[in-house]
Each structure stands twice: as structure tokens, then as C-alpha cells.
Amino acid sequence: MTKYNSRNRITKASNKPVRIIECDDILDIKEHHVIEYSWVLQLEFRSFKRLENMIDIKPPRGNNFDRLLRASGLYPLQAKTLDTIQINVGKLCNQACLHCHVEAGPRRTEIMSKDIMAKCLNIIKSEGVSNVELTGGAPEMNPHFRWLVSELRNNDILVKVRSNLSIMLEPNFTDLPEFLKNNLVEIIASMPCYTRENVDNQRGRGVFEKTIKMLRIFNELGYGGSGSPLLLNLVYNPGGASLPGDQISLENDYRNILIERFGIEFNNLFAITNMPIGRFKNNLISDGTYDKYMNLLVESFNSRSAQQVMCRNLISISWDGKIYDCDFNQMLDLACDHGAPSHIVNYTPGAMVNRRIVTGNHCFGCTAGAGSSCSGALAIKIDARK
């Protein structure tokens, strides 16, 4: 076995011209028996014995994430099952948060129609999917939100709503907590910190106070208590260009401080990495820290996290019916490809299992450190029913 480093030119005892080998090209040719480990390629010349010239191996062009997937034996990344469908019902939101990869806000006009919702419901039933996550924007602001929740629950489908909570203090939304309780809807609430300053800096002035008020309301309704079927989970994300801390430690800190200062209980904390897309990416570029943050994500690549990325078990449907491998691909408009349907009008049951997943360098955000998903860290198991 001869080893070649892609960063340095490898010479042999020969005066023959340099031969350039592109990683993307050679890795697709099985007879070359190429195995990649991080930045190193190993070539075993079982059927390539006459290579006597010098070899210069260049890094692959473009998608470096795929390069590390190859090193981990995960390329091409493929879906395993379909147990969750995320539905983005629109980008309209009462907030405009600095970290928002959706770039949601009060002026967005993209709203899922009832007709698209009905088609989504047909797909969910045809696949036998038992978990549906509704997201936005503020999903509660879609005029058909309650209809969709009711239809899903009538079909015994578990519904999770990703909420900023503050929307439920606005006129016409104050009765939503009772509606969600009656339908046993799981709440996944954004709360990037347990201090007023950090929350308001990231999500807007006064949001912390509104969040605390809504958490208390949900506690009064029975959410968040030990043994309660009404689940209330919180979402943490860093305030800047850094990785989340240890999820278990963060959850303990949240639990202790929220109960001591505010008398608030919750079930789980999900620690999520800020994705280098959307509004957060724009802020990084503006601050001159985009390259530094991307280097941090790449250097923190964890193959164990890569094995468990959420796109292997779900699909994400946009407000206009397009199908994506995840919510982040949706925001980059990287629809499902490689033969998988990219819109619900072309959907066929079973088409999404074992599909090849569309990847890019933004995917490093899900595989850095302990990993990141819509349900928090990937490299540890989360008991969602504690």
C-alpha cells in the first residue's frame, strides 16, 4: 500500500512528467481501489501497477463535505427511513431574528395554501409517517394552521410545532395554547439563552419577557411537567460564530436557572448549531467572520455525527410544495435530486427511502462536534419522553 498526501507533491525515482489525478475522478473508479482518510488518499495498485510517474493529487473541486463523507465511508449519503416529515407552512413571522436561516419576518408573503396542505396530508398517510413537524416563520400565522393540525391529529399523527412563543401573545392567537393542548401538540420553543440580554439581542427587544410569560402559561396548562404527555422542549443556539456547548450540561443549567428564577419546567433542551446560510451567513460576511466560522465547522467534522444526520430519516416540504432533504437545503433551494421527486405533484410512495441526499459545504453545520439537528445534538441519545 502506497500512501500519498494531497497537500504535498509526491515524487518517485523517475523523471517522467507529473500526472494529475483529481480526487473526484479517481474515487469513482472502483478498480483503482482508492480509500480516503481525511486529507490523505491511499492507492492500492492491484490493477494500476504500471503507474511509475510522479503523482500530484489535488483536492476535489467545490463540495469538500462529500470529500469527508468519502473518508468516513458514507459517500454517497443516503436516506435510511422516512419517519418524520417537516412542513414549512410559510415564511411569515412576527419576529426577524439575527440568526434566522429562513430569513423569516413580518413582510414575507410566502404562505402555504390549503390545497398544498391537503396534498401533504395525502403523502403523510400514504407513507404511514407518524411524526410531523410544522415550522415557518411562525407556523401559527398561516390561516390554515389549525385545520392542518386538526386533520393530522384526526389521523393519529403526532404533531410538533416549532414556535417562537411570542406570537401567541398577539391578537387572534391568544387561544392557541388551549388549542394545542387539546390536540396534544408537542411544543418546540426557541429560547437561545436564559438571560434577558442575550435573548433580546438575538431575537428582538422584549422577546425574553414574552417567552417567559408563554412558558408559564404552558406550564399552567400541564406542559413540561415530569410524566406529562404534553411535551415542552426548548431550543438553544449560540449567540455568535461558535459551536454549542455540551447539550447535557446546557440542559442542566437551563433547568436549574429557569426553575429557580421563574418557576418554569420543561422536558428537553435541544442544542443547535447556527447554519452558515440565510441571515446568519449574511451577518458573518458583514462581520468578516464567515471564513473563520466555516473553518471551525470543517475542522470539527465528526463522522459519528455524520452517520446520524436528520436528513437520513426525514424530508422537508416547502410552502409551495417542493421537496427537500432538510429544512436547510430548502432555504438554499437545493431540492431533492438523483431521481427522487422534487415536488409533491410528482410524489410516489416509497420514493424517498434510500434516496441519495443532496449535500453541500453548509452540511458541515450538522456534523461539527456533537452534531446538530432539529432535535439537538446527534452524537448523544435524547430521551424525548423523560
**What is the tens place of the pLDDT at every residue in 224-264?**
999 999 999 999 999 889 999 999 999 999 999 999 999 99
**Measuring CA to CA, which residue among 185, 187, 237 is closest to residue 214?**
187
Domain 84-367: give its CATH superfamily: Aldolase class I (3.20.20.70)
Instruction: Give pLDDT tens digits for 260-294.
Output: 999 999 999 999 999 999 989 999 999 999 999 99
Average pLDDT of the chain to the nearest whole number: 84
**Helix, strand, coil shares, percent, the chain, to 5:** 35, 20, 45
Helices 247-262, 207-220: inter-axial angle, 10-degree rounding: 80
Pairing of strands 55-58, 158-163: unpaired
Q: How far apart are CA 30 and CA 49, in angstroms?
A: 15
The residue type found at 29 is: I
Q: How far apart are CA 114 and CA 147, in angstroms?
A: 9
Segment 116-120 shows an average pLDDT of: 98
Residues 6+ apart with CB under 8 A from 250: 236, 244, 269, 271
Q: Which part of the chain is CATH 3.20.20.70?
A: 84-367
pLDDT of residue 159: 98
What number of residues does the chain have?
386
Burial class (CB in 10 A: 0-12, 13-18, 19+), 338: exposed
pTM exceeds 0.85: no
More confident residue, 51 or 150: 150
What is the band of 99 on the pLDDT scale with cuts at 50, 70, 90? confident
Q: How far apart are CA 151 and CA 164, in angstroms?
A: 23
Residue with cell 507529473: 18
What is the band of 384 on the pLDDT scale with cuts at 50, 70, 90? very low
pLDDT of residue 376: 93
Instruction: Give pLDDT tens digits for 60-74.
Output: 345 689 999 998 999
Backbone angles phi and psi of 71, in degrees to 5: -60, -25
53 pLDDT exceeds 80? no
pLDDT of residue 203: 83
